[in-house]
Chain A
């Protein structure tokens, strides 16, 4: 709390050292040096002037830095939004205070306001992530403590293992979750995905297939599982089986972009160009930034002799090409969310 408050405040140092009481200036300087015991009496004296918003805010920041959130909060949240920098500083400190005192509702409310006011502010985004992470940890801890026998404990453990690249542990936890609640939806789907991530062997394809089929028994209209079965069939060289799974996935979810692309590519290969182009164009309309869709459409145009259109798709693709997403995006992907079309 202290270090962060100081960091926030240092950024303001240049702007607040304008003409004013020497007590206030000395107090702010002491705050920025981390000498809160020196800052506190000086800022308390300066804040006796009720009109001195800066002194009041820095007094509250000092109190917060010293762990006295209860006293600090009223002044922190009273900082007027018109004082942009002070409002931001006080808001951040107030969120931390609310969070530390367990008043999560107040913390979220204030974070939303800060997020709207400062949407591109790294400190605001950082604190938002941190508060939500704390909420995640608190809820996880509570679940493990209060409902240790629930399948959800195993499901969550498995998801965490997946993020940590511990796929064999994830597989084991998903199996325990299924054992605890054989009828829970999505578990077989996630297990199938974890199996595919755990192993590269042909046997893994079969094991994963079984899980996706099990998911379909529980959720007969699960397009994502149909799509996964199609992909496995394709890798195994069973083109017609793959096609039927993709078609079924598309029937279940008409805007399922990955299924549209898969079928579009198959139609291109079969020289069914109008059909392929229709499906792939639909995919690019649904997801204009989808590189795979544009590349498949490029190929369909090229193979059908429509070189101008193929080149236009290439130009679009060139614009979309960018360095691979970073670790953080990979991290999120590993959460194993189903495709957005679901």
Chain B
């Protein structure tokens, strides 16, 4: 599987026009290129020090999001910034070009932006934006796709103290048609009281002084806001049980109906502490069951440094399994859902045990080759730039990893064959997935610390057929967040779910993409809407975006 030096050099030098076949695997091999520069994504997004970092706030980075804010059918891109820059919205002009519309939309900002999630919280037909901060979060209401209005205060989302908000997700916890909001919190951080690098044993990495934490810094709690349906939210963290778990450094947020009872649950990747699985018990109540359900620890019962998280029915067994990115010297973790929300750590059996030198962040299951099996991508980058002084094989900037789904429960790392984009070195954090040109091949946007973002696109379209489902709720929330979809084509059933948030503090396309392999049409689409409505569509053509409105 090793590439010759010449091949590697060729791949690095230019983005070849054609994908090629890997004779060893006798399968399609993609050729991903970073087209950010050509696309007009040339702004640098500051995020703390590049040579050394004094405080933990500089390490966690920021998310990135795909959002079609003007309903023109093309995904726009929202990139978050650390202190010293502004979040930016880029309008998708078509033909692979983006234009900065930040100021025109009223989105210029300052401070440490962390995460982004989208959803139409007021059901007016335009997708709204929520941005988490170390500091004050912001809810931006989308005004007819023309501008965004900061409605944080009027929606009662103003926080009464500085919080280190990280991941977020809109979800309808009770199926009332109004999107509620979950916000994870990392820890309590105050630069005035946080020790400096090397100040205590929690401020060292492999013997070198580095920024302190998270160990040694005080915990905070997660937050759940109920959408009152009148344009305001109420903090129900206490009465819902969300606030109960104590002692977790929460980062990436993933929602989904993991125990298959029709109610959305919440998974939170936690750093150096057990990850959390809030099971929705109905009536606005949650119970944290991560340990007993097998998703809190690694297979040794040890808490990992969880960062990003994603879910998919990667094995075709009808259940959503969870993948979480972790720290260097830890395995990534794949938890296979046995059904009903009990999980097994199958990381090693799935062939994911080889990459232990990376600190993983943004991640997503997506079908790059449209063969009908969800593949897996994760982006990497260490938290300590100082690690370079150690001259070891762990680096501040590192490559992304692409795993191909081998359709037998196993994955294969094909990064070194997957194009020049996977040879680039960045200290990446957020990653979002979406088809920017509706050609059936999913692109990946990545937020890199102190660099321009990356936009990964295949040089040629993959061979398989595909469909993209754009769901519009009527009785359900208009974004259809929480809708569970089964697509049956070519004798196979695939599962998808509309999710807000996810990956690492990022937002992927709210539409659902399915590769269909050799099936040129779809036999059946079954949709379980959050309202409880069941809807079936039969005999649909492939290779197009299919708009589906919830039946009344």
Do A235 and B201 touch (CB < 8 A)?
A: no
Asked if A102 is at the interface of the complex by the 8 Å CB criterion, the answer is no
CB neighbours of B301 from chain A (8 A): 291-292, 294-296, 298, 317
One of A7-15, A75-83, A196-204 at the interface? A196-204
Tell me the smallest distance from the CB of A270 to a CB of chain B, in Å.
12
**Chain A CB within 8 A of B449 CB:** no
Q: Are B207 and A237 in contact (CB under 8 A)?
A: no
Q: Is the CB of B272 within 8 A of A324?
A: yes
Interface residues of A in 298-317 (CB under 8 A from B): 298-299, 302-303, 310-311, 314, 317
Determine if B300 and A292 form an interchain contact, defined as CB atoms under 8 angstroms apart: yes
C-alpha gap A76/B353 in the complex (Å): 60
For the complex, give the distance between the alpha carbons of A296 and B345 in Å: 11
When C-beta atoms are compared, the residue in chain B nearest to A329 turns out to be B201
Number of residues in B with C-beta < 8 Å to the partner?
Answer: 33
Residues of B within 8 A of A321 (CB): 274
- Given A291-B302, A295-B297, the answer on whether A302 and B292 have CB atoms closer than 8 Å is yes
Q: Is there a chain A Cβ closer than 8 Å to B523's Cβ? A: no
Between B204, B356, B392, the greatest number of chain A beta carbons within 10 A of the residue's beta carbon is seen for: B392
Contact with B along A306-341 (1 / 0, CB 8 A): 000011001001100101101110000000000000
Contact with B along A146-171 (1 / 0, CB 8 A): 00000000000000000011011000
A265 within 8 A of B: yes
- B334-378 vs A: 1/0 string, CB under 8 Å? 000010001010001101011111000000000000000000000
Residues of B within 8 A of A165 (CB): 206-207, 390
A321 to B274, CA, bound (A): 10
Residues of B within 8 A of A37 (CB): none
Contacting residues, chain B, for A328 (C-beta < 8 A): 201
Give every chain A residue within 8 A of B300 (Cβ-Cβ).
291-292, 295
Q: Which B residues touch A314, using CB under 8 A?
A: 291-292
Is B299 an interface residue, CB under 8 A from the partner?
yes
Interface residues of A in 226-267 (CB under 8 A from B): 234-237, 239, 265
- A302-B272 CB under 8 A given contacts A165-B390, A237-B410, A317-B291: no
Nearest-neighbor residue (CB-CB) of A164 within chain B:
B207
Please indicate the chain A residues that have their CB under 8 angstroms from the CB of B292 in the complex: 298, 302, 310-311, 314
CB distance from A326 to the nearest CB of B (A): 5
Given contacts A200-B394, A310-B292, A314-B291, contact A265 B353 (CB under 8 A): no
Assembly CA distance A311 to B289 (angstroms):
11
In this assembly, does B393 line the interface, its C-beta being within 8 Å of a C-beta of chain A? yes
Is B215 engaged at the interface, CB distance under 8 Å to the other chain? yes
List of A residues within 8 angstroms of B419 by Cβ? none
Interface assignment of A269: CB less than 8 Å from any CB of chain B: yes
**A 186-236 contacts with B by CB, 8 A:** 198-202, 234-236
Nearest B residue to A205, CB-CB: B354
Q: How far is the CA of A237 from the CA of B353 in the complex (A)?
A: 8
Contact of A200 among B272, B338, B356 (CB under 8 A): B356
B353 partner, pick from A198, A236, A324, beta carbons under 8 A: A236
The answer to whether A327 touches B204, judged by C-beta atoms less than 8 angstroms apart, is: yes
Using A164-B207, A299-B294 as known contacts, say yes or no to A235 and B302 having CB atoms under 8 A apart.
no
Cβ 8 A contact of A235, one of B207, B272, B348:
B348
Query: Chain B residues with Cβ under 8 A from A323's Cβ?
Result: 215
Q: Which of A200, A237, A239, A326 sits near B393, CB closer than 8 Å?
A: A200
A147 CA to B348 CA, complexed, in Å: 46
State in angstroms the CA–CA spacing of A299 and B329 once bound together: 24
A168: chain B residues at CB < 8 Å are 392
Query: What residues of chain B lie closer than 8 Å to A200, measured between beta carbons?
Result: 328-329, 355-357, 393-394
Complex Cα gap A311–B292 (Å): 7
B355 cross-chain contacts in A, Cβ below 8 A: 200
> CA A2 – CA B12 in complex, angstroms?
65
Chain A 2-44 per-residue mask, 1 if CB under 8 angstroms from chain B, else 0: 0000000000000000000000000000000000000000000
Q: Give the residues in chain A near B351, CB-CB below 8 Å.
A: 237
Is the pair A327, B349 in contact by a Cβ cutoff of 8 Å?
no
> Once the chains bind, are A326 and B348 in contact (CB under 8 Å)?
no
Residue of A nearest to B201 (CB): A327
What is the distance, in angstroms, from A144's C-beta to the closest C-beta of chain B?
23
B356 neighbours in A (Cβ, 8 Å):
200
Residues of A268-282 at the interface with B, using a CB-CB cut-off of 8 Å, are: 269
Contact B291 A292 (CB under 8 A): no
Within the complex, what minimum Cβ distance (angstroms) separates A110 from chain B? Answer: 31
Interchain CA distance A295-B299 in the complex, whole Å: 8
Q: Please report the C-alpha to C-alpha distance between residue A236 and residue B347 in the assembled complex, in whole angstroms.
A: 11
**Which of the listed residues B301, B349, B353, B394 has the most CB atoms from chain A within 10 Å of its own CB?**
B301
Structural contact, A167 and B204, CB atoms closer than 8 A = no
How many angstroms between the C-alpha atoms of A296 and B294 in the bound complex?
10
Question: Closest CB-CB distance, A183 to chain B, in whole Å?
Answer: 31
A167 in contact with B353 (CB, 8 Å): no
- Given the known interface contacts A296-B301, A302-B342, A324-B272, the answer about A239 and B207 at a Cβ–Cβ threshold of 8 Å is no
Interface flags, A285-297, vs B, CB<8A=1, else 0: 0000001101110
Residue contact B302 to A292, C-beta cutoff 8 Å:
yes
Which of B's residues lie within 8 Å of A, judged by CB?
201, 204, 206-207, 215, 272, 274, 291-292, 294, 297, 299-302, 328-329, 338, 342, 344, 348-349, 351, 353-357, 390, 392-394, 410
29 contacts between A and B (CB under 8 A): A165-B206, A199-B393, A200-B355, A200-B356, A200-B357, A202-B354, A237-B349, A239-B349, A265-B299, A291-B300, A292-B300, A292-B302, A294-B301, A295-B301, A296-B299, A296-B301, A298-B292, A298-B301, A299-B294, A299-B344, A302-B342, A310-B292, A314-B291, A314-B292, A321-B274, A323-B215, A324-B215, A327-B204, A328-B201
- Given A199-B393, A311-B292, A314-B291, 9 more A-B residue pairs with CB atoms under 8 Å apart are A165-B390, A200-B393, A236-B353, A237-B349, A269-B344, A291-B302, A295-B300, A302-B294, A321-B274
**For the complex of A and B, 3 pairs with smallest distance between CB atoms:** A295-B301, A200-B357, A327-B201
